[in-house]
Amino acid sequence: MNIHEYQAKELLAKFGVPVPAGYPAMSVEEAVEASKKLPGPLYVVKAQIHAGGRGKGKFKELGPDAKGGVRLAKTEEEVRAAAQDMLGNTLVTVQTGEHGKQVNRLYVTDGVDIAKEFYLAVLVDRASGRPAFVVSTEGGMDIETVAHDTPEKIHTFDVDPATGFMPHHGRAVANALGLKGDLAKQAQKVAAKVYDAFIGTDAAQIEINPLAVTEDDKLMVLDAKVGFDSNAGFRHKDLAELRDETEEDPQELEASKYDLAYIKLDGNIGCMVNGAGLAMATMDIIKLNGEFPANFLDVGGGANKEKVTAAFKIILSDPAVKGILVNIFGGIMRCDIIAEGIVAAAKEVNLSVPLVVRLEGTNVDQGKEILANSGLAIVPANDLGDAARKIVAEVRKAA
């Protein structure tokens, strides 16, 4: 689960990380009110969407010459104008995709005189299986570009979770940033507190870009992206209220309501499978046969009619889907029950694309019979390879 910048900053501030003062705003009036509570003379009005690159982003409605989603303002009028420009409009950045994201919330924050911009992140390093720091003097810009063009400018080191954050980790961060004296001390402190926040919230990542050095030599977090490990959600009920469902993929959101593990992909063959391993194998074999899966979908162990129907609806709501492959192994769940679910669901959603079904396991013969007698144009398949070849052929035939 990801959260907005203003929520991330409020959270980091609770852990003692220095952030500029600021207030969220849902309307133009709230934005103006927020600026009145700040000391001035410089304010920054920032679009709150779950995507980076806002500063260099463009609003669809405003044309190519208009400013992006992070604007400096010197007066109440400029705050008002910036808020009016952004709220309700669609911001397109390198991270949003071409459709962009509608801006429904703003953050009005203290303008800071920046001397330097650094990058600092804590994330889970899958290779070492440990929390890791990623630090660079090249902050403010797109870190992927830095990683690509000048990889030597990115420093990475991990932390043994058993011993936790040690003073030498703090020194390593300060060194990587080339800081000395008081700023080095500040960097050590910031690193320790960001690590505390990372562990304390079961975060998956905390990315600070930029971590700024101000003209009066203070370290400040000017932008923060925080995502949590959903598997640890039960330990952090208080964080659940930070969720903004309007930022999530509507199909993935719908799937989560039915406890379906659904991830949208770019291909044209919808997949409905039980078990994550079988789902991965199904996607692989579709690719092996020359087409691409439109989604990953694990309906789980107890796939009943309601779940199967919901899964069909979610798959079909993607206009790219030109055919569906159902691949179910009936272990605890019997194939005849599953077949009844598929038939009922296919009738209910008025299935309009080819459907290939491969069933295996308990009561498979009864299951196949139900599919054959359903009156629906279901193409039966005998094994995984057969199923993949058939759905690829069907999709190509229809194209």
Catalytic residue list = 119, 207
Two structure tokens written together for 325: 């492959």
Two structure tokens written together for 223: 């932008």
Identified binder of ligand ADP from the candidate list 11, 17, 70, 379, rule CB under 6 A: 70
Q: State which residue, 7 or 209, has the beta carbon closest to Mg ion.
A: 209
| 108-116, 196-204, 321-329, 342-350 -> range binding ligand ADP (CB under 6 A) | 108-116
Minimum distance of ligand ADP from residue 142's CB (angstroms): 8
Identified binder of ligand ADP from the candidate list 1, 25, 44, 206, rule CB under 6 A: 44
**What whole-number distance in Å separates Cα of residue 76 and Cα of residue 45?**
11
**What whole-number distance in Å separates Cα of residue 275 and Cα of residue 10?**
39
Enumerate residues 6+ apart whose C-beta is below 8 A from 279: 271, 273, 296, 297, 298, 327
Q: Which does 117 bind (CB under 5 to 8 A by kind): Mg ion, ligand ADP, none?
A: ligand ADP
106 binds ligand ADP (CB under 6 A): no
**What whole-number distance in Å separates Cα of residue 155 and Cα of residue 157?**
7
- Integer CA distances (angstroms), 342 to 14, 48, 155, 219, 311, in order: 50, 41, 52, 58, 10
DSSP secondary structure string for all residues of 73-84: ESSHHHHHHHHH
207 binds Mg ion (CB under 5 A): no
Q: State which residue, 46 or 390, has the beta carbon closest to Mg ion.
A: 46
| 30-38, 109-117, 130-138, 388-396 -> range binding ligand ADP (CB under 6 A) | 109-117
Q: State which residue, 117 or 340, has the beta carbon closest to ligand ADP.
A: 117
Identified binder of ligand ADP from the candidate list 55, 227, 300, 361, rule CB under 6 A: 55
Of residues 217 through 236, those in contact with Mg ion by CB under 5 A are 223
**What whole-number distance in Å separates Cα of residue 135 and Cα of residue 144?**
13
Q: State which residue, 247 or 394, has the beta carbon closest to ligand ADP.
A: 247
Enumerate residues 6+ apart whose C-beta is below 8 A from 271: 279, 282, 283, 286, 293, 294, 295, 296, 297, 315, 324, 325, 327
DSSP secondary structure string for all residues of 93-115: -TTT-TT-EE--EEEEEE---EE
Minimum distance of ligand ADP from residue 74's CB (angstroms): 12
Number of residues that bind ligand ADP (CB under 6 A): 19
Neighbours of 185 (CB within 10 A): 14
Minimum distance of Mg ion from residue 204's CB (angstroms): 18
Two structure tokens written together for 321: 């889907």
222 binds ligand ADP (CB under 6 A): yes
Q: State which residue, 20 or 323, has the beta carbon closest to ligand ADP.
A: 20
Minimum distance of Mg ion from residue 95's CB (angstroms): 10
Q: State which residue, 223 or 340, has the beta carbon closest to Mg ion.
A: 223
User: In what order do the strands lie in the sheet containing 378-381?
Assistant: 261-264, 295-298, 269-273, 323-330, 355-361, 378-381
Q: For tokens 């007066």, what's the residue? A: 75
24 binds ligand ADP (CB under 6 A): no
Binding site for Mg ion (CB under 5 A): 209, 223
Q: Which residues bind ligand ADP (CB under 6 A)?
A: 20, 44, 46, 52-55, 70, 109-112, 114, 117, 140, 209-210, 222-223
